[in-house]
Structure 1
């Protein structure tokens, strides 16, 4: 009787082998990356619109200047709260925040993600300085001190927002909703504190937040396989709730800010309502609205581009 030798399985077939052990590497999806790029471009356009509306026009400068003057109301009490918030914003704060975000990414074995965080923080702060000191100007349309010195965008707000956005990019998926809410609140608090201290006008803060949103969405559009999350079925608990909370805050404060802006416009036309206090409160609400809305968008962009 002749022995019959069973055929060995071919490499990579269903019975095992090197090819069978290697699963296809997940790749970033195209549509979310395109959407992220669109968000980045819209945010940059928003920076230009903010500058064009509140710096290059007399009415815009008037409303912004009224908000700056209105910050003198109750400043003593509010400054006690605002000064510590601004006190933490420094070069060491940027370094510590950036290092934390990069270490989080590297601890997860995400090298390109760590690079994305560094690009986001460095790019946002460099862009703000270039826009403020090189690209944008401020025509002297009002008879006020230092009328021709441009202060848009706000450097302090950019620092705070970029560090918060970097952490949002770096943390694992389940932690992003919490970081987005905390980051939006912290950015709004920093921006409001610059208004309280009369360091900046509302438009300066809004432009700074939009600069960070542009860079945050931009780096998400460049996601690589190492930036993706582990594949999971279903929707992560907390993401929709965090987005809803941020958007609800955006809608409420945004509506009030628009109402205040309308009153200030009435004041500029000689009507008997509005004034510096209305402009100040409207500017505060506008800063909160843009901060919360930007982090809601950034959370949506990051979650969608990170899904395998």
Structure 2
């Protein structure tokens, strides 16, 4: 807060002693600090990430649905899910049972409630639009926009890209990530990413989806989440904790420092690089000479699972960094 120290006349004290050398006393007037301003550069980066996610979604469809080699790898992964399915399904089925209308309502309601408690009125609307928009996008793309040509021998079913279950799990997790206070976001990113990855792998175990379906769903959520970050208004910015505010009401340096976010995002990106590299290497071998040292369907299944883990890690790492950056007021 700003302090107005303009001097005003003052009555003499009892005994004729004035309030100051010139007969005046300072009067303190408190004025509110200037409103926070958004960081334009961070918002531009978030918009670029949203566009790149759309491109990645299109490339996933183009490579794994509209090419013979891509469909072949995806189908091998679908067949490979039969290995150990009986025991793995006992773990996967309860994870998939969580995804329901009730789960969406409770998840979105919790995100909105957190935003409202924090008095982020526009953010409360944005997280609802995020979940609704992401899931609507998935259903429209899957049923009305994208088609699956029969490039392999026989009919291999209708288009299943993107995965609806993965979109629900990821979008609700991202909504909570965007709505929670700054200090809690690294924890929410880890928990939300873990739950989303478990859902994505579970739909592979149950042979409900191919790996490309799950990866595409993650890119849908990444695009919507980055778009929300790019449109963060001044009213949704983070406020510095009271202990970091100076007497004037301006935050001291380091008030918005979040080293935990950088550590979590860095670990997620490192894990994504390892998983993505192994997955890509397996796919190259499968589409090349086909020798991987293990049965081709097992190799494709493992590669698909690694791709899901890598895409999940990238999605939550980027959205954690974007949210922390776009929610930080400009100095």
Name the TM-score, length of structure 1 as normaliser: 0.91
Alpha-carbon distance in 2 for matches of 1:6, 1:275: 91
Alpha-carbon distance in 2 for matches of 1:247, 1:205: 18
* Structure 1 residue 240, shift from structure 2 partner: 1.3
Q: Secondary structure at the match of 2:258?
A: coil
* Structure 1 residue 271, shift from structure 2 partner: 9.0
The match for 2:324 is: 303
* Cα deviation digits, residues 209-261 of structure 1 (max 9, x gap): 00000000001100111210013532224111111111121112111111211
CA contact (8 A) 1:264 1:274 kept: no
1:283 aligns with 2:293: no
- Equivalent residues, number: 294
The match for 1:25 is: 35
CA contact (8 A) 1:253 1:289 kept: yes
The match for 1:246 is: 268
Bigger-Rg structure (1/2): 2
1:132 aligns with 2:145: no
Alpha-carbon distance in 1 for matches of 2:217, 2:82: 23
The match for 1:165 is: 174
Q: Which runs of 5+ in 1 are unaligned?
A: 8-13
Alpha-carbon distance in 1 for matches of 2:271, 2:292: 30
Change beyond 3 A, Cα 1:244–1:76: same
* Structure 1 residue 148, shift from structure 2 partner: 4.7
Match among 183, 186, 205 for residue 177 of structure 1: 186
The match for 2:16 is: none
* Cα deviation digits, residues 1-27 of structure 1 (max 9, x gap): xxxx849xxxxxx9555xx61321102
Change beyond 3 A, Cα 1:76–1:273: closer
1:266 aligns with 2:288: yes
CA contact (8 A) 2:292 2:299 kept: no
Change beyond 3 A, Cα 1:280–1:144: farther
Change beyond 3 A, Cα 1:168–1:156: same
Match among 233, 258, 262 for residue 236 of structure 1: 258
Residue pairs, 1:103-142, within 5 angstroms: 103-142=113-152
Change beyond 3 A, Cα 1:251–1:211: same
* Structure 1 residue 181, shift from structure 2 partner: 1.2
* Structure 1 residue 89, shift from structure 2 partner: 0.4
Alpha-carbon distance in 2 for matches of 1:79, 1:246: 26
Alpha-carbon distance in 2 for matches of 1:257, 1:198: 19
CA contact (8 A) 2:282 2:292 kept: no
Q: Which runs of 5+ in 2 are unaligned?
A: 1-7, 11-25, 241-250
The runs of 4+ residues in structure 1 deviating greater than 3 Å are: 14-17, 270-274
The match for 2:23 is: none
Measured on the aligned residues, the alpha-carbon RMSD in Å equals 1.8
